[in-house]
Structure 1
């Protein structure tokens, strides 16, 4: 799907064609930009840009604390380097959704509208240093990721298929490959806690679509929390619950996800 590949600083990025992108995609933790290809392939004609987050895919990893502020600035750096067609719609999943929210709150000149696929909610309150800085803590590689990384790609695919038998087959290989691309040095760096999602939404003035699944299937956003987000939102806000989906909504229920995303893109392109 990605015919144009490039690098801006430490960041690898990919576009579907030479024309300026209309939609930018930010992936979740341990995924990569290539994990968006199955979705983009299901949406013919979309002009897309996808970015490998620092420490993921083919991007480098600066020796500095890991934070959503850094992810925000990375995305802004790449978007600012692209052929300009004005502000874009930014779609993010999980970690990438939180980065998209940070970006939309801080850079309305770059973001026309934003789609948040099951973002983390952030802490209800964040400890700060006496100087007002958010506290840093150590990151730890999740046990499941260490186990998957120890396998060869075919075995990772088999494990993914067994864990999520309802995922489309084309989701499994990019998911499996991306796990081996995560830079283990990421877990040697301090992690800076984020702002609560509701605080970010209060600062976003562009249209927001929040897509979430079921918490009992691993989703991070409950219906009650989505209602809190709606009350906190500073601009146009819509929440869509896709029943039967978990944290990876687009993988669990692709047709329903594509329908919601396509409708939103038509409204705001």
Structure 2
């Protein structure tokens, strides 16, 4: 079931109820969660296209995590009860912002390799489109899939097409807007009282969260917190090691259901 709330496009597996909401990372889309959702039969899920991604619109305002949080809250406020929010990278930080400031909407959060955050300062200059994304956007879909396969040969086949499709859906006007840094993840965790699962991979393979920083997160967390280090995975933990990712996710969901 597809739908829209204001400028946001979303997809849900059940027309009557939602238990888990998925927020994707930069340059991905809601459909990039399809392989995970398909691997969890019976899950009542909703996935949201972030502003400027997938089929969502792009408001004329600075790119900031407060805005991503408000977007998620706009959709979640239409649901009858709080949900588990699962996010990856940008989506994980958005989930952390949401849980820290709108606790009535999230009863638990799963953070897949979020950025550690920084100064939280507003930048006056527009940001530049990454060269790797511009290069992908210049290719047709088969070529993007082929490049994804060459770059990450261990990814399951069903990950490649939604990943490749999402790159062409990124609104190029996104890079004309100014942006605001995220505040430190540890600051957000100090305000989150619901259960938190932090999933990260190996920094040597591109994970943004080291085991040392995960320990800092555990010390900062105000509520129940668990960090799960998944070996042989980088920034896209679920794509690099789906089996162990799903084991961690299913176990966590069973404890907060």
Provide structure 1 residue ranges, at least 5 long, that are not aligned to the other structure.
128-133
2:73 counterpart SS class: helix
Partners of 1:90 and 1:115 within 8 A in 2: yes
Find the counterpart in structure 1 of residue 87 from structure 2: 92
**What's 1:130 paired with?**
none
Decide which of 222, 230, 233 is 2:210's aligned counterpart.
222
* Aligned-pair Cα RMSD in Å: 0.9
Which residue among 195, 208, 211 is the counterpart of 2:199? 211
Aligned position for 1:122? 117
Matches within 5 A, 1:1-269: 4-82=1-79, 84=80, 86-123=81-118, 125-127=119-121, 134-269=122-257
- Rounded Cα–Cα distance in structure 2 between residues aligned with 1:255 and 1:137: 41
TM-score normalized by the length of structure 1: 0.94
Unaligned runs of 5+ in 2: none
Say if 2:18 and 2:45, in contact at 8 Å, map to a contact too.
yes
Q: Do the aligned partners of 2:120 and 2:180 also contact (CA within 8 Å) in 1?
A: no
For residues 124 and 213 of structure 2, what CA distance do their matches in structure 1 show?
26
Contact 1:212 1:241 in 2 (8 A): yes
Q: Structure 1 residue runs of 4+, over 3 Å off?
A: 134-137
- TM-score, normalised by the number of residues in structure 2: 0.98
Q: Tell me, in whole angstroms, the C-alpha distance in 1 between the residues paired with 2:235 and 2:182.
A: 19
Q: Give CA deviations for 1:186-239 in whole Å, capped at 9, x if unaligned.
A: 000000111111100001000000000000001000000000000111111000
Aligned residues: 257
